[in-house]
Amino acid sequence: MELRQLEYLVAVAEEASFTRAAERVHISQSGVSAQIRQLETEVGTTLIDRSTRHAGLTPAGAAAVDHARAALHAVDALRRAVDGVNGLIRGQLTVGMVAGCTVTPLFDALAAFHHAHPGIEVTLLEGSSDRLIQGVRNGETDIALVGAAELPEDLDTITVVSERLAAAVPFDHPLASRSRVTLATLTTYPLVTMPEGTGVRAVLDSACIAAGVRPDIAFQASSPEAIADLTIRGLGVAILSASMVALHRDRLHQLTIGDAPNPAVLALVWKANHAPALQEFVRHSHRAFGTGTDGMNPLAGTGPTRPITQSRRSATSAGG
């Protein structure tokens, strides 16, 4: 019994004609007839009633055709599964990363993925969180590491880091004698922080609106290093995540912002689909961010962190 015989049986049953079935499967009518006769010989009974103008099924044929369809569907599923595996041999994957961050676990995931699947071409893009999220939605980017005031409910996520904002000033700044400060006090000074479209900025803007104050943004930079350097030169008060500020404790004094309680969250986001390359990269990302951080700070490359490895469709915090 051959698959083509089952295919021809289904074609004749659905077309009720050897001629139309032959046209459908692109062989001669005699070829279809010969293969079905061979199938009938193998099963020991007639499957097609040839006594009328229309080729109809005998009772045995009617019983057989459903099983023939099931067998053909099973073979098709097998082929799709093999194609899925082959998709991990050749293909493309576009990974986005919020600008200005050196994210060690993401690089670990990229390296592991590349070593496992060297035939897949990986493109790494940098940008603002807003643009990266939109790129994931419209299919330009497969997966992205972003921060946001609220992670998108229509995308799958892995939350990587959750921490509060912090302020930083030079050691000779008027606020350097304090350990805690309010937004009302902070906003009497010019601020240096990240641009709009980043998670840190979204959390800051939201907190200022809630506190009824308007920040004076003197300088914006996507790199935490640049923000720290501008702050050290007396150009404003830095607003970053707590771990970003902690990296510069030898040059800047850190202050807790008392009325900015919402945490900054860094997360991987992707649109759920069955692309094998994306699924495999998500698996590597779970491993890298869940057990491979080794105490390193995903937000800036070194230092302590508090990783949260929740994989879910929605999250409620904002990111860096």
- The pLDDT of residue 87 is 58
Yes or no: say if 199 and 100 are a contact pair by the CB < 8 Å rule: no
- The pLDDT of residue 152 is 85
**The two three-digit tokens of residue 193, written as one number:** 């922080």
Range of the domain at 17: 3-86
What span, in angstroms and rounded, lies between the C-alpha atoms of 214 and 212? 7
- The pLDDT of residue 2 is 86
CATH of the domain at 38: 1.10.10.10
In a domain, 318, yes or no: no
Q: Which of 63, 86, 109 is the last residue of a domain?
A: 86
- The pLDDT of residue 319 is 45
DSSP state of 151: -
Q: Which residues in the chain land under pLDDT 50?
A: 291-320
What span, in angstroms and rounded, lies between the C-alpha atoms of 273 and 51? 50
CATH of the domain at 241: 3.40.190.10
- The pLDDT of residue 298 is 37
- The pLDDT of residue 124 is 92
In a domain, 52, yes or no: yes
In a domain, 62, yes or no: yes
- The pLDDT of residue 304 is 31
Do 145 and 221 reside in the same domain of the chain?
no
Q: Cα-flanking dihedrals φ and ψ of residue 90, to 5°?
A: -135, 140
How many domains does the chain contain in total?
3
- The pLDDT of residue 159 is 85
Report the amino acid identity of residue 170. P
